[in-house]
Amino acid sequence: MAQVRLIKPMTELLTITKSHPLATITMTREEKRNALSPELLGELSQAFDELKNDEDVRVVILKGQGNTFSAGADLAYLQKISENGPEENLADSRRLRDLLWKIYTFPKFTIAQVHGAALAGGCGLATVCDVIFAADDSQFGYTETAIGFIPALVSIFLVRKIGEQHARELLLSARKISAEEAYSLGLAQYVVPCGSLEAAVQQYAMQVSKNSPSAIALTKSLLAAQHGMSLEAGLEYAASMNALARGTEDTKKGIASFLKK
CA dist 125 and 29 (Å) reads 15
Which amino acid does the sequence have at 46?
Q
Task: Single out the catalytic residue among 144, 164, 232, 236.
Answer: 144
Using DSSP, state whether 53 is helix, strand or coil. coil
Please give the DSSP secondary-structure letter assigned to residue 36.
B
CA dist 85 and 88 (Å) reads 5
**Could you write out the DSSP letters of every residue in 65-110?**
STT-SB-SB-HHHHHHHHH--HHHHHHHHHHHHHHHHHHHT-SSEE
The C-alpha R_g of the chain, in whole angstroms, comes to 19
Across 191-211, b (16+ Cβ under 10 Å) vs e yields bbeeeebbebbbebbeebbee
Q: 109-114 and 59-64 as β-strands: parallel, antiparallel, unpaired?
A: parallel
Which residues, 6+ apart, have CB-to-CB distance to 192 below 8 Å?
Answer: 133, 134, 135, 136, 200
Dihedral, CA of residue 151, residue 155, residue 156 and residue 161, to nearest 10: 150
Under 8 Å between Cβ of 198 and 113: yes
Residue 30 is among the residues annotated as catalytic for this protein: no
Q: Hey, which residues are catalytic here?
A: 144
